[in-house]
Chain A
Amino acid sequence: MEDKTDTILSIRGLNVTFATHDGEVRAVKNVDFDVRPGETVAIVGESGSGKSQSMMALMGLLASNGRATGSARYRDQELIGMSERRLNKVRGEKITMIFQEPMTSLDPLYKIGRQISEPLIHHGRLLSSAQARPRVLELLRLVGIPDAERRIDSYPHELSGGQRQRVMIAMALANNPDILIADEPTTALDVTVQAQILALLAELQSRLGMAIVFITHDLGIVRRFADRVYVMRSGEVVEEGVTEALFSAPKHAYTKMLLEAEPTGRKAPPPANAPILLEGRNVEVTFTIGGGFLAGEPLMLRAVNRISIALKKGQTIGIVGESGSGKSTLGRALLRLLPSDGAIRFGGRDISKMGRDEMRPLRREMQLVFQDPFGSLSPRMTIGQVITEGLLVHEPSLSGRDRDKRAVEALREVGLDPNMRNRYAHEFSGGQRQRIAIARAIILKPKIVVLDEPTSALDRSVQKQIVDLLRDLQKAHDLSYLFISHDLAVVRAMSDYIIVMKQGQIVEEGPTAEIFDDPREEYTQTLMAAAIDVTKFRMTASS
């Protein structure tokens, strides 16, 4: 179906292998891609599908143990196996790339103006740094950085995440590239910022006419954004096609599964007479920054500002907000893991003044599951040891054999093979690790679990499984959840009551249906609009 003269990037039979201690691992297997001028191609897949590695290969950016074979032709140049020097003439000038993590892809030691001028000085017209400055200003305005004259002399840490991503885009656009490869450019950003960046990319494309290769796991973005889609799974392209056709009639089972991976279902509220388990009244958390001996006045930062909350038995309260809104801090303060002001009552007792030793017996009833399944499991312990650690504290009389039995039960309950309990955390995938973290919480038979973004680091299809698991466990054990998330689709499926937070304060709260269908506050409305803007296609596709 492709016309040879029409494609600017043509990849044929691309293989990427990594030499590891366990032999060769094939990350990309014999894939073909085509990119035509000015079009947007999306490569969709879950983590480990090889979608990033295939693009890294043609940019010559593979890790040192990686090797690419096959063919990748840009116009009439073969990129695979090209010498570093000739490749540098293509990458950074004709093909450019933006990355997922705007926090780490800018060098913290250089002003952003200098970083943007780098490609101008080394590529294309080879400008001097003084000549480059007007062009840098123009680029900053193009990507919508306000007050460009002042911002050009800022360091990366002075910019927000969204602004840094704009700076990255400005760098990538500096030499008017033919192809822009965007590797999950919005994944690390808040929903409202995400929507802005996507709008910016779409606008820039219509003005500058470059082709965009969009690597993402988010089908909502693909649907809104891409002309054609490649779906990748474990290193292979399983399906490709024009976006509309692929979404309306997916052929491959995997594509269908991806399209249906939206968490569904709603949570019914608990009975009205359910007892209140955990209650916080006017909770405040203040962080002190700096200060101390000879350091002058400390800076006080109020992360949680007079928040009241009541969690009933069997209830799930969703706490929604963008990063920095204080939602995680609130969750930890309610568990008394952070010092706070205000009253916190658990099961009728005031726990806000209790010391660490007094709190210890209560800890088994209030558990916490973290966002990052890679960081929350100790790398030096087997998962059997990880999940039974709480038993050592709370049921010290249990024998080793009894603990092992409990571990087997808990693993079975979260849907993992108990025979794997002697393995180490690094041998599991993200979703499996999150199941282990959940097993660690429920083995103590708690009453309350605070779930701090438990699904954010996971692929969509895995997210759905974790959401189902959490709901099953809630039913089986009559648990109460405090569900902290920025992902509105997941929150909607999980919770029966929602609190929207911004800058440490509650903006709006109410039953889930009310908040979603009829948000009153302006902030909630923008939040919903941004999220639904990205997800609405997914909704229609899955229904």
Chain B
Amino acid sequence: MTDHSTIATHEVLAGASPTIAGRSLWQDAWRRLRKNKAAVASAAVLLFLALAGIFGPLVAPHPYDRIYPQYVRTPASLEAYPKTDRIIPAFESVVSRARVETGPVEVEGSTVRMPISSGEQLDPRIVRYVDRSDLFENARIEELSADGRSGVMVADVHRLRFLFGTDSNGRDLLARILIGIRVSLAIGVLASAMALLFGVSYGAIAGYLGGRVDGVMMRIVDILYSLPFIFFVILLVVFFGRNFILIFIAIGATEWLDMARIVRGQALMLKRQEFVQAAEALGVDNSGILRRHIIPNTLGPVVVFVTLLVPKAILLESLLSFLGLGVQEPLTSLGLLISDGAANIQGATWLLIYPAIALTVLLFALNFLGDGLRDALDPKDR
């Protein structure tokens, strides 16, 4: 019955719109996708996250691997560090290392002043004790007395902002999350691209050629399926050492199996379609049929599967990193950050909360977009 009505509306449409430029199925799908608000919002979020991952680390105030020993496990805050109540004791403690008599500390705006005196002449090199601290910079001795035994130690307070706080090594969490998004997205996209390239061609060839070729090719897939993933990754790591590229090879190498099966199923169905038989009757060779007829017509379900594959790859990478088989310090990924946060959940909840939010938003956006694409590409499935 639905068939009937779609045919009926089609006939009406064909008569109603006498435009010459064609409207491909992709354009139709795009129009439907644009109507889906959740999918459009997800696409915008994804674009934002991707840009943040690519350019964020360049513009972030701190490098992701810079360690601030003074700021270990600082909570997230919009205010700049150090806070006023911490400046005085900190300044006292750094100046006291210079073994000089100290007076009361005054804080004016972003400068700190403290009269100092000593039994002998003040060595100008003592400013280094102050500069060595992350909190202060540009330390100098002013109002030096004539005998050089007393003066005022002046330093600018080095104000830093840690919007998401710092981790247990004193690194800025915001910068690390940005680099984590970059790494996770890169692994997700590259692993999916690998699965896409290999899985689609493998599945299309197996499905279209059929018969014994199909049997052998799909049994190989079955054998690979039966390898436990974690075991496979450990083997790879043992053989080749830990390596960024290895991770997406490992993930891609397992994910293409699903893709190959999906595409093979599609190809089996498509090769019985009359347009494929028509191409055979025209004498088109196998590669032409695969390139022009089979693969373009499998792309609908494939695109949908890819949008679901990317989050899957990201989760797998998170799992590997969580187990310590993933990317290596100081480079990080969302999975590593979350594992780190989980270890510190007692005293430093922000270490878990922010990376977890970032990962969740990323996965939500990808899944919503995938759903939207499925509806757009195959409206009958709704």
Decide if A420 is an interface residue (CB 8 Å cutoff).
Answer: yes
Docked-complex contact B2 and A63, CB < 8 angstroms: yes
B283 at the interface (CB under 8 A from A): yes
Verify B4–A52 contact, CB threshold 8 A: yes
Which B265-296 residues have a C-beta within 8 angstroms of A?
Answer: 273-275, 277-285, 288, 292-293, 296
- Residues 23-40 of chain B, each 1 if its beta carbon lies under 8 Å from chain A, else 0: 111001001100100000
- The complex places the Cα of A440 from the Cα of B22 at a distance, in Å, of 19
Which of A52, A63, A371, A378 interacts with B275 by CB under 8 Å? Answer: A378
> Is A375 part of the contact surface with B, judged by Cβ < 8 Å?
yes
Residues of chain B within 8 A of A50, CB atoms compared: 8
Q: Complex: how many Å from CA A30 to CA B277?
A: 44
Q: Is B14 in contact with A427, judged by CB distance below 8 angstroms? A: yes
User: In the complex, which range does the number of interface residues on chain B fall in?
Assistant: 35 or more
Chain B residues closer than 8 Å to A376, beta-carbon distance: 274-275, 277-278
CB contacts under 8 Å to B, within A396-435, are 419-420, 422-424, 426-429, 432
- Is B292's CB under 8 angstroms from A48's CB? no
B146 on interface, CB distance cutoff 8 Å: no
Q: Is the CB of A25 within 8 A of B13?
A: yes
At the interface, yes or no: B238 with Cβ under 8 Å from chain A?
no
Q: Considering the chains assembled together, what is the distance between the CA atoms of A376 and B281 in angstroms?
A: 12
B5 within 8 A of A: yes
Taking a contact as CB atoms closer than 8 A, the residue among B13, B278, B299 that contacts A22 in the complex is: B13
Interface string of B1-17 (1 = CB under 8 A from A): 11011111111111111
Question: For B10, B32, B293, which residue has the most chain A Cβ atoms within 10 angstroms?
Answer: B10
How far apart sit A20 and B6, CA to CA, in the bound complex (Å)? 10
Contact of B12 with A392 in the complex, beta carbons under 8 Å:
no
Interface of B is mostly: helix
CB distance from B189 to the nearest CB of A (A): 24
| Nearest 7 Cβ contacts at the A-B interface | A363-B283, A48-B11, A423-B22, A376-B274, A390-B282, A63-B5, A368-B281
Q: Do the beta carbons of A380 and B273 come within 8 Å of each other?
A: no
* Nearest-Cβ distance from residue A95 to partner chain B, whole angstroms: 16
Q: Are B20 and A419 in contact (CB under 8 A)?
A: yes
For residue B21, CB closer than 8 A to chain A, the reply is yes
**Bound CA–CA A390/B296 (angstroms):** 18
Whether A394 is near chain B, meaning CB under 8 Å from some CB there, is yes
Query: Shortest distance in angstroms between B9's beta carbon and chain A's nearest beta carbon?
Result: 5
* Alpha-carbon separation in the docked complex, A337 to B279 (Å): 11
A427 touches B283 (CB 8 A): no
Complexed CA–CA distance, A25 and B12 (Å) = 7
Contacts of A21 in B (CB 8 A): 28, 31-32, 35
Beyond the given pairs A56-B4, A363-B282, 4 more chain A to chain B contacts, judged by CB atoms under 8 angstroms and listed by A's residue number, are: A27-B12, A360-B285, A394-B283, A429-B14
**Would you call B278 and A393 a contact (CB within 8 A)?**
no
* Chain B residue at smallest Cβ distance from A357: B285
A-B contact pairs, 14 of them (CB 8 A): A18-B9, A61-B1, A337-B281, A361-B283, A363-B283, A377-B275, A377-B278, A378-B296, A380-B297, A386-B275, A393-B283, A423-B21, A429-B11, A444-B282
Residues of A within 8 A of B299 (CB): 380
Q: List the count of A-B residue pairs having beta carbons below 8 Å apart.
A: 143
CB distance from B285 to the nearest CB of A (A): 7
Q: Please tell me if the beta carbons of A392 and B288 are within 8 angstroms of each other in the complex.
A: yes
Q: How far is the CA of A30 from the CA of B149 in the complex (A)?
A: 107
Whole-angstrom CA separation of A35 from B273 in the bound complex? 42
Interface residues in A45-66 (C-beta closer than 8 Å to B): 47-48, 50, 52-53, 56, 61-63, 66
Cα-based distance from A35 to B284 in the complex (angstroms): 55
Contact assessment for A375 and B275 in the assembled complex, using a CB-CB cutoff below 8 Å: yes
Asked if A423 meets B8 with Cβ closer than 8 Å, knowing A375-B273, A375-B274, A376-B278, the reply is no
Of chain B, the residue at the smallest CB distance from A417 is B20
- CB-based contact B12/A370 at 8 Å: no
Judge whether A25 and B9 touch: CB under 8 Å. Answer: yes
A429 partner residues in chain B, CB cutoff 8 A: 11, 14-15
Q: Are A380 and B25 neighbours in the complex by a CB distance under 8 Å?
A: yes
Known interface pairs A47-B11, A376-B278; A424-B297 also in contact (CB < 8 Å): no
**In the assembled complex, A389 has its CB within 8 A of some CB on chain B:** yes
Nearest A residue to B295 via CB reads A380
Question: Are A53 and B5 interface neighbours, CB within 8 A?
Answer: yes
User: Is B5 in contact with A47, judged by CB distance below 8 angstroms?
Assistant: no
B1 partner residues in chain A, CB cutoff 8 A: 56, 61, 63, 99
B277 lies within 8 A of A62 (CB): no
B9 touches A379 (CB 8 A): no
Q: How far is the CA of A56 from the CA of B3 in the complex (A)?
A: 13
Chain A contacts of B25 at CB under 8 A?
Answer: 379-380, 424, 426
> A422 contacts B21, CB within 8 Å?
yes
CA distance A303 to B15 in the complex (A): 41
Shortest beta-carbon distance, A457 to chain B, in Å?
11
Docked Cα-Cα span, A390 to B284, in Å, equals: 7
Q: CB of A542 within 8 A of chain B?
A: no
A282 at the interface (CB under 8 A from B): no
Q: Bound complex: CA of A372 vs CA of B10, how far in Å?
A: 16
Provided the pairs A379-B25, A379-B297 are in contact, do residues A27 and B292 lie with their beta carbons within 8 angstroms?
A: no
Selected from B21, B274, B288, the residue in CB contact (under 8 A) with A393 is: B288
Beta-carbon contact of B281 and A363 below 8 Å: yes
A437 touches B (CB below 8 Å): yes
